[in-house]
Structure 1
Amino acid sequence: MAQKATKVQAARNAASLNRLHLISLAVNGVFLLVNFLLSSRNLYLWLIFALPSLAIELWFERSARPSFNPDGTVRRAGEDLEAKGLTEWMWDITYWTWGCIGLATVLGNRAWWAWALIPAYSAWLAWTTFSGARSGLQGLGGASQDAAPGGVSAAGQSKRQAKMEKREKGGQRVAYR
């Protein structure tokens, strides 16, 4: 049972890479088959928009393909293809590109415009991340203006005392039955 995690990751990576190559071959093969047999599609657009997916596929093959010693033991399991972050984003681009190729196969050359959603989604993701970080950093400037660091307001009262005084002045009334 030595290196069980390495063996499991190597098997998982090999299966994922084989599946990736088969799906890519099927999607691109059907596109080319439809292009040459039924109606012509723009091959230049296909090449331009399929290149990122093919480059990602090559990157995954290089970085995640496990290597084995001559005796069959795992030498290197490869990078984890289920990792979060950049790897997840590259899978998203691959899936979206396959979807766009499928749409272009069925609907024609105008379906390539769907690929423009990838940069739009990336810009939206970057903006929400930046604005979330910016709003999170605004509170680091210290305590608010009307309360001092110990929970004491500028008038020398604690928050509890200020609430009680507000209740007494009629701001909040407690109704008893």
Structure 2
Amino acid sequence: MAKQAFKTLAQKNSQTLNRTHLIALGVNTFYLLFAFIIFRKRSIYKYVLLNGPALVFEFWFERIGRPVYQDGELKRAGEDLEAKGLTEWMWDVVYWTWGNVVFVALVGDWAWWGMIVPVLYSVWSAWTTYTGMRQGMGGMMGGGDAGPEKQGATGGQSKRQAKMEKRGGQKMAYR
């Protein structure tokens, strides 16, 4: 019962990877069929260059997510392919690339400009992460504390501290 979670993850990963490979095979076959047989005016160089990241991510998912069995027993379930963060971003790039490859096959090579969207999304995501981290770490990095010009008349005190000082300071009560 203790390894049930690993078995479930291994089964889910296997299904996800198999489905991913089948979809990638279908999308790339569709493009190559259109590029070589129907239109004959598609750039294979652009196809290889701009479809490359999706293929690299797909093989990376295969490497980290495929469960490993030894003697019929589950040795390693693989990483969670539904994890947040970088894994989620890589899936977004794969899905966008598949859609763009189909779009290019249907309308032409000018549609490769659609691959600028994941790049812009990545830059925006990195920038917002960096600025959020910088604000969160403001006290440790020297960027979050206010200088003397920003502290105003209270000298960096809160309103409560300023009121208490105005009244004569905080009195200690001894019992």
TM class by shorter-chain length? 0.7 to 0.9
CA distance in 1, matches of 2:2, 2:127: 45
Further displaced range: 139-148 or 82-91: 139-148
- Give the structure 1 partner of residue 37 of structure 2: 37
Unmatched 5+ residue regions in structure 1? 159-177
Tell me, yes or no, if structure 1 residue 79 matches structure 2 residue 79: yes
- Partner of 1:38, secondary structure, is helix
CA distance in 2, matches of 1:22, 1:7: 23
RMSD: 2.3
Further displaced range: 22-31 or 116-125: 116-125
CA distance in 2, matches of 1:14, 1:104: 30
CA distance in 1, matches of 2:164, 2:69: 73
- Partner of 2:152, secondary structure, is coil
Structure with more of its chain in helix, by fraction: 2
- Partner of 2:19, secondary structure, is helix
TM-score after normalising by structure 2: 0.80
Deviation string 1:60-87 (CA, Å, 9 cap, x unpaired) is 11111101122x2211101110111111
CA distance in 2, matches of 1:145, 1:42: 63
Identity %: 43
Tell me, yes or no, if structure 1 residue 151 matches structure 2 residue 128: no
Residue identity opposite 2:14 in structure 1:
A
Matches within 5 A, 1:51-70: 51-70=52-71
CA distance in 1, matches of 2:96, 2:109: 16
Residue identity opposite 1:56 in structure 2:
F
Q: Which has the larger radius of gyration?
A: 1
CA distance in 2, matches of 1:145, 1:8: 59
- Give the structure 2 partner of residue 112 of structure 1: 112
Unmatched 5+ residue regions in structure 2? 168-175
Offset, 1:27: 0.5
Deviation string 1:157-176 (CA, Å, 9 cap, x unpaired) is 48xxxxxxxxxxxxxxxxxx
Offset, 1:17: 0.2
Aligned residues: 157
- Give the structure 1 partner of residue 173 of structure 2: none
